[in-house]
Amino acid sequence: MLGRHFHPFFTLTLLTIFSISFTTAWRPWPNHNSTKSELQFGGSKKYEGSSDFVKLRYHMGPVLTANITVHIIWYGKWEKSQKKIIREFISSISEPGPNRNPTRPSVSKWWRTVQLYTDQTGANISRTVHLGPEKNDRLYSHDYCQNVCGFHYFTFPSIVGYTLPYAWVGNSGKFCPGMCAYPFAVPEYIPGLKAVKSPNDDVGVDGMISVIGHEIAEMATNPLVNAWYAGSDPVFPVEVADLCEGIYGTGGGGSYTGQMINDKDGATYNMHGLRRKFLVQWIWNPLLNYCTGPNALDL
Ligand SMILES: *[C@@H]1O[C@H](CO)[C@@H](O)[C@H](O)[C@H]1NC(C)=O
Ligand SMILES: *[C@@H]1O[C@H](CO)[C@@H](O)[C@H](O)[C@H]1NC(C)=O
Ligand SMILES: *[C@@H]1O[C@H](CO)[C@@H](O)[C@H](O)[C@H]1NC(C)=O
């Protein structure tokens, strides 16, 4: 039996590169074609991914209940300003101290949905996510668009000596923005759909933020791919963020993003970090059985 003290890891590795070559992962936009009227009228009904057919189950494996440390490995060339946006997102996940109230809706409130998941001892996912030391690998580059924006897995003790959950997230801003930076860029096949302005003036990195949030939420709830997922095939698990891909606000679902927030300068976001704004997809709520986020209008 796996108790809390048996967890062999408390560290996550977030590898950040231009593009990657896995075929089994997700896209932040719905994987089907849609008509403009669907986009316009989809918001009138309560959807947010709710479905009687979703059977998210706990498969008895460990989840990340101890303080989480994210080690970023930067592959390829990154601007200082780009690194700052990503670090500030990760630093915004933990609830700030009692004398620092985050502006609502906040990234830390977004993480509360992830904290609802528990292991078999009843321990919740950690409320604390820290940044650890980073590494740079500037020479690595892999400049083409693949059909995946991010994925997570873990290292095998038999190969590297320990078990370490990790995620890859690609910056596809340059190469396939319509796929991985939606809705700051839109897929060409959806006629009449307009991209929205990104909150930190960087379409690629602002698009990556939601992918990073997706992967961190799934690493915390399913680090060894034997804890929380839906579907019967562990090779293609449908995880807590997969269930809500493309949903950023109330009414979201199908091909509609849901109600987002418009900034004075025209940018679109749905939550506040400690110093800047972000657009991050919602997470499946195991108590309510639909996707929830901090900017829900009916909370
Ligand atoms: C969406 O439409 C495009 C162009 O009409 C087509 O090439 C593509 O296969 C369609 N995708 C799906 C998932 O139906
Ligand atoms: C976990 O993080 C919290 C908040 O930063 C801190 O107070 C606590 O000491 C940490 N626990 C461990 C075991 O590092
Ligand atoms: C821990 O998880 C349980 C079950 O989902 C939930 O009722 C409780 O509110 C969670 N606690 C925190 C601190 O999130």
Q: What stretches of 35-168 show up as alpha helix (H) in DSSP?
A: 36-41, 80-91, 107-115, 157-160
Residue 128 Cβ inside 6 Å of ligand 2? The answer reads yes
The whole-number pLDDT of residue 150 equals: 77
pLDDT at residue 105, as a whole number: 97
**What is the Å distance from ligand 3's center to 126 Cα?**
11
Report pLDDT for 188.
76
Nearest-CA residue for atom 4 of ligand 2: 128
Ligand 2 pocket, residue 35 CB under 6 Å: no
Q: What's the 67 CA to ligand 2 centre distance in angstroms?
A: 6
> Which residues 6+ apart lie within 8 Å of 201 measured at CB?
none
Distance CA 70, CA 257 (A): 28
Instruction: List the pLDDT tens digit at each of the 299 positions of the chain.
Output: 333 333 333 333 444 433 333 323 344 444 333 443 333 333 333 456 666 567 899 999 999 999 988 888 887 788 899 999 999 999 999 988 887 888 999 999 999 999 999 999 999 999 999 888 888 877 665 555 555 677 787 776 666 666 777 777 877 666 667 778 889 988 777 777 789 999 999 998 999 899 999 999 999 999 888 999 998 777 778 899 999 988 999 999 877 899 999 999 999 999 999 999 999 999 999 999 899 999 999 76
Q: Ligand 1 centroid to 190 CA: how many Å?
A: 9
- The one-letter amino acid code at 127 reads R
Ligand nearest to the Cα of 69, by number: 2
> Phi and psi at residue 81, in whole multiples of 5°?
-65, -30
Q: Which amino acid is at 111?
A: W
Element (H, E) at 154: strand 150-154
Q: How many CB atoms lie within 10 A of CB 63?
A: 24
Assess contact for 169 and 208: CB atoms under 8 A: yes
Q: What is the pTM of this model?
A: 0.82
For residue 13, list its beta bridge partners.
71, 166
Q: Is the CB of 188 under 6 A from ligand 1?
A: no
What was the pLDDT predicted at 22? 32
SS3 content of the chain, % helix, strand, coil (to 5): 20, 20, 60
